[in-house]
Amino acid sequence: MTTVQAQPTLVEQVVNAIVSEIVDGELPANSRLIQEELARAYGVSRQPIQQALLLLRDRGLVREATGRGLIVSPLDVDFARNLYEIRAMLDGLAARLAAERGAERARLEGSAYLDAGTALQSAAIH
């Protein structure tokens, strides 16, 4: 039986997007995070933004600033380096798992797709 990797939830997608922007410097330290602006930028409602920001606060990537709401936490060099290392490992793992699962799926379902394509090609020629 083939197991299918669950797609990331909307909240996980938002978390990943915000982390990417923090790591890439698009959201610099002390930037104010406004839910409405983030929701508009990511094309989602405020609820997944709110949940993502709470998760990021718990992880220390954002923090509360008196009178300003949530802001991006300043990152030290070691913390940023660790984020890149973790991200590199996760990207490698994701690629390996996709290749392994894709090969199994191709073995199980590939011939049916090839047969369907051949049938369509034959029908188009005749």
Contacts of 100 (CB under 8 A, 6+ apart): none
The answer, yes or no, to whether residue 58 has pLDDT greater than 60, is yes
C-beta of residue 24 within 8 angstroms of C-beta of residue 9: no
pLDDT at 1: 45
Name the 3-class secondary structure at 33.
Answer: strand
Per-domain residue ranges for the chain?
Answer: 1-74, 76-126
pLDDT in tens, 8-45: 789 999 999 999 998 888 999 999 999 999 999 999 99
C-beta of residue 17 within 8 angstroms of C-beta of residue 42: yes
Q: Place 103 in a pLDDT band, splitting at 50, 70 and 90.
A: confident
pLDDT at 5: 54
Distance CA 40, CA 19 (A): 17
On whether the 1-74 domain is CATH 1.10.10.10, my answer is yes
C-beta of residue 44 within 8 angstroms of C-beta of residue 10: yes
Look at 1 and 75; give whichever has higher pLDDT: 75
